[in-house]
């Protein structure tokens, strides 16, 4: 059986403007790979409600799981929760369990749970909360969409909360062979090996350093035996 599939939706003008470098995709990809879930697509959209709704609907209908990052804070431009609710035509309002989590957190620090902070307790009907041990304000899961904060430390903690609830497949095995030949030299044999092993992902990544050049060939798949077989063929063509 093929592994479950996933997509990620990164939300925020600050990503598209270049002001903020996204680190969450790299973390999520590694975690999903270890869990046996194939990350198939990543989209980045601005803080535009129509764009967010359209992307959520499209990704949710295509993949087994969708992970969103960003836009669930206390400010006016944090609109992700409302957009998720709109994408599934679901009411949204402050929910008692989310309010209680925030009230306890801010009481410990002597901080006022004002109207802005209460926005983080607005949860669509029918959603389940995602634990946030870093800063308390919860994410949530609605249908197959997992809605998480954009702050990397919080995002990572939420991923850790969600992954154990998801059914995974076979973890991806990855092996690399370094070949000091130009890609034009290795392309033919590499294409033949890829054709002979359609269940594998085979990529060629050029390098040039200190007067040496060539390519790192990465072979990925869920079958260790098949990965090794392809690697052996590659080594036969290009012995070290």
Please answer whether residues 188 and 179 qualify as being in contact, where contact means their C-beta atoms are separated by less than 8 angstroms: no
**Integer Cα distance of 234 and 217 in angstroms:** 9
**Residue holding tokens 């599939």?**
5
- For the chain, the domains span 5-165, 173-237
Q: Which CATH superfamily is domain 173-237 in?
A: Ribosomal protein S10 (3.30.70.600)
148 is written with which tokens?
């998480």
pLDDT, tens digit only, all 240 positions of the chain: 789 999 999 999 999 999 988 999 999 999 999 999 999 999 999 999 999 999 999 999 999 999 999 999 999 989 999 999 999 999 999 999 999 999 999 999 899 999 999 999 999 999 999 999 999 999 999 999 999 999 999 999 999 999 999 999 888 889 999 999 989 999 999 999 999 999 999 999 999 988 889 999 999 888 899 999 999 999 999 987
CATH T-level assignment (fold) for domain 5-165: Molybdenum Cofactor Biosythetic Enzyme; Chain A (3.40.980)
Phi, psi of 104 (to 5 degrees): -65, -40
- C-alpha 111/C-alpha 80 separation (Å) is 25
List of residues 6+ apart from 14 with CB closer than 8 A: 20
- The helix/strand/coil state of 203 is strand
């Amino acid at each position: 059986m093929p592994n479950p599939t996933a997509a990620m939706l990164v939300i925020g003008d600050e990503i598209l403007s270049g002001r903020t470098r996204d680190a969450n995709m790299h973390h999520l990809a590694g975690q999903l790979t270890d869990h046996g879930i194939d990350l198939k697509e990543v989209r980045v959209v601005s803080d535009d409600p129509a764009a967010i709704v359209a992307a959520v609907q499209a990704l949710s209908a295509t993949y087994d799981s969708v992970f969103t990052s960003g836009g669930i804070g206390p400010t006016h431009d944090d609109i992700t929760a409302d957009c998720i609710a709109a994408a599934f035509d679901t009411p949204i309002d402050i929910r008692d369990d989310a309010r209680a989590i925030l009230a306890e957190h801010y009481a410990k620090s002597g901080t006022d749970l004002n109207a802005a902070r209460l926005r983080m307790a607005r949860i669509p009907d029918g959603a389940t909360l995602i634990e946030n041990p870093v800063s308390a304000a919860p994410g949530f899961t609605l249908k197959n969409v997992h809605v998480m904060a954009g702050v990397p430390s919080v995002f990572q903690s939420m991923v850790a909360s969600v992954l154990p609830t998801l059914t995974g497949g076979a973890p991806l095995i990855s092996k690399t062979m370094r070949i000091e030949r130009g890609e034009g030299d290795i392309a033919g044999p590499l294409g033949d090996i890829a054709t002979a092993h359609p269940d594998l992902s085979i990529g060629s990544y050029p390098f040039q350093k200190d007067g040496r050049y060539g390519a790192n060939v990465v072979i990925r798949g869920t079958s260790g035996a098949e990965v090794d077989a392809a690697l052996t063929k590659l080594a036969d063509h290009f012995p070290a």
